[in-house]
Chains A and B, each alone.
Chain A
Amino acid sequence: EIQLQESGPGLVKPSQSLSLTCSVTGYTITSGYDWSWIRKFPGNKMEWMGYISNSGSTNYNPSLKIRISITRDTSKNQFFLQLNSVTTEDTATYYCATGLHYFDYWGQGVMVTVSS
């Protein structure tokens, strides 16, 4: 079974970069699927941020395009999120997830607070 696990700091200062890791077990990220980051804001709004495909191409939400980067380390079967120039509005629970068109598998999520 595919399992995903997010890791990273829970507190980031405004204007700095948010960096998260998603570790995948039970499936090789180069074998198939797109590997996404999704966030849920306080108040329940959910936003798809972007994905890295099994071939390594990326697709980002236009609302984040100038601030986001998703990369991967295939040797570790991990993919990464970097979000630059964060503000308090980036405070959210961040999930990694995978699937084609819909999201079959999700990590547990990591809560990130942007605060000085």
Chain B
Amino acid sequence: DIVLTQSPALAVSLGQRATISCRASQSVSISRYNLMHWYQQKPGQQPKLLIYRASNLASGIPARFSGSGSGTDFTLTINPVQADDIATYYCQQSRESPPTFGGGTKLELK
């Protein structure tokens, strides 16, 4: 299985930029397709798709969220961070079956 590694937590100040990283144990890119996706989950809620195929904003997601990366290294950026963004963020790959998730990065306020 492809293992996705995320830092457990990140502390940021409101109005600042947050950069959340995800590293894959092998490439999750095929040709021009980067098969990494990002979700936000708040306590008591289901995960919400934020970014698909590394850099595409899902429907209804604010433009302060963006994604980048290719191969094994991917980044989710939130700029500027708002109070409503305090949550846990997960990456997920679909390059190989089974699809796997990162361990999650909990975004906290400084």
Q: How far is the CA of A44 from the CA of B90 in the complex (A)?
A: 10
Q: How far is the CA of A45 from the CA of B92 in the complex (A)?
A: 12
Whether B97 lies near A45 (C-beta < 8 A) is: no
- Among A19-27, A70-78, A104-112, the stretch that binds chain B is A104-112
Whether B98 lies near A62 (C-beta < 8 A) is: yes
Q: How far is the CA of A43 from the CA of B3 in the complex (A)?
A: 17
- Among B17-25, B46-54, B73-81, the stretch that binds chain A is B46-54
State how many residues of chain B have any CB contact under 8 Å with chain A: 22
State how many residues of chain A have any CB contact under 8 Å with chain B: 19
Could you say which of B45, B94, B98 has the most chain A C-beta atoms within 10 Å of its C-beta? B98
Whether A46 lies near B101 (C-beta < 8 A) is: yes
Partner-A contacts on B (CB < 8 A): 35, 37, 39, 45-49, 52-53, 58, 88, 90, 92, 94, 97-101, 103-104
Interface residues of A in 73-116 (CB under 8 A from B): 95, 99, 101-104, 106-109
Chain A nearest Cβ from B49, distance in angstroms: 6
Whether A102 lies near B98 (C-beta < 8 A) is: no
Asked whether any CB of chain B lies closer than 8 Å to the CB of A55, the reply is: no
Whether B101 lies near A47 (C-beta < 8 A) is: yes
Partner-B contacts on A (CB < 8 A): 44-48, 59, 61-63, 95, 99, 101-104, 106-109
Whether B97 lies near A59 (C-beta < 8 A) is: yes
Q: How far is the CA of A102 from the CA of B61 in the complex (A)?
A: 15
Whether B101 lies near A48 (C-beta < 8 A) is: yes
Whether B98 lies near A48 (C-beta < 8 A) is: yes
Chain B nearest Cβ from A33, distance in angstroms: 13
Taking CB atoms, residues of chain A closer than 8 Å to B39 are: 103
Whether A109 lies near B97 (C-beta < 8 A) is: no
Whether A48 lies near B99 (C-beta < 8 A) is: yes
Taking CB atoms, residues of chain B closer than 8 Å to A106 are: 46-48
